[in-house]
Structures are given as C-alpha cells and as structure tokens.
Amino acid sequence: MDKIEKMKTGTTTLGIVCDEGVVLASDKRATMGYLVSSKTTIKVAKLDRNIGMTIAGGVGDAQKLIRWMRSELEVYRLREGEGMTVKGAATLLANVLSNYKFYPFFVQLIVGGYDSKPELYSLDMAGGVTKDDYISTGSGSPFVYGLLETGYDKKMSLKDCLKLAAKCIIAASKRDIASGNGITMATITKDGFKYLTAEEIEKIGKEVSKK
C-alpha cells in the first residue's frame, strides 16, 4: 500500500466536447507528497494529428504510455494509409491497461479527438472505458465536476468550451493543493490538434476572471 501511495500524484485534467471539436486542459503542477516537484509539467499530450490525451497519476507510467501510443498510431497510419479512429485509439489503450491490470499503470487518462465528429473517452488503470461529453480526472476533479454540471451545454461553441475549461482549472487550483501553476489547453477539430499559446490562455483566463 505504501508503494501505491508514493506513486500517486495530484492534478486536475479535463476534456469537453462540442460540435466544433474537443477541448483538453490541465494544470501544470507535479507533486511528490508535499513537495511541488515541477511547476511546468505538460499533462496534455498530442498522440496523432487528430487525437490527444490528458494524464493524471504516475508520471513515469504516463510518459511510457504516451511514447507507446504515438508509436502504435504512427505505425497504423503508415500501414493503413490513414489515421486510427478516436474510438480505436481509446480501445487500443484500454487493452494495454487491461493486460497489465495485475501490475497496473497508475494513471487516469482522457482520450479525445475528431474523426467525422468529436469524441471523448475516460480510461481507468484497469482498462475500463467510458464515453462522455465532459470528463475530469485527478485530485481536483471534484471541484471541476460541479462547474461542468452547471456550465456545460451541448450547443456550446469551441470558444465557450475553452472559457469553461479555464474556469474549471482555475477553480480547482484555488482549492486543491496538488493543482496549480498555470494552465495547458489544446483543441482538436477537423483541422487537427493544436496547443493554445501562453498569450491565448492568459487572455481567456482574464476574460473568465472578470465574471
């Protein structure tokens, strides 16, 4: 049990779906017990041109899965001449997690992307997969879900989804000691995966804070 506790890390990540695409977001803090080990951790990863993932849990486990998924998706694209679907990528990752469930990767993951339409999946460390319109993981997720429940609308624009995501990460950072030190955000639309710049995130944060 002590080993499991040491490998746990706090964080806040989320994914939101709208008609235009998917928004993935997270804070930047990484912790080791009561120590803030990093203030610039990127927890939103690009897996393929149209697929991304957020990570919560053990950093080493998450990094290994990111490398593995990028490799598998690239091989699939080269072999098939087209990219894997979002559902296919989520299922592939779920199978990996399930195969290792007796010696698990200590992670909570969100996989999102855009095929003919945007899709979002939550994956637990045993390989369980859940599809939803919005998902949050990590120690800050209890603070996020209240805002998502009241603020989300299926007809929201991508811009409004970005504002809601920023609002959620800011709220969690104020209450969860393991979350903070800024925001990382990315969008996945029919044009592909795109990280928001620091200037774009700062502008959204200021708009949200005024309300």
Q: Which comes out higher in pLDDT, residue 35 or 53?
A: 53
User: Residues 11, 12, 41, 187: which is the catalytic one?
Assistant: 11
Largest separation between any pair of C-alpha atoms in the chain: 50
54 is catalytic: no
Alpha helix (H) residue ranges in the chain: 2-7, 59-80, 86-99, 141-151, 158-175, 198-210
Amino acid residing at 3: K
Give me the mean pLDDT over the 191-195 stretch: 97
- Domains of the chain (ranges, CATH numbers): 2-210 (3.60.20.10)
| 161-173 residue pLDDT tens | 999 999 999 999 9
Distance from C-alpha of 129 to C-alpha of 98, rounded to nearest angstrom: 10
Give me the mean pLDDT over the 170-181 stretch: 91
How confident is the model at residue 136, as a pLDDT? 97
Q: Identify which of 116, 203, 101 has the alpha carbon closest to the alpha carbon of residue 162.
A: 203
Give me the mean pLDDT over the 39-62 stretch: 93
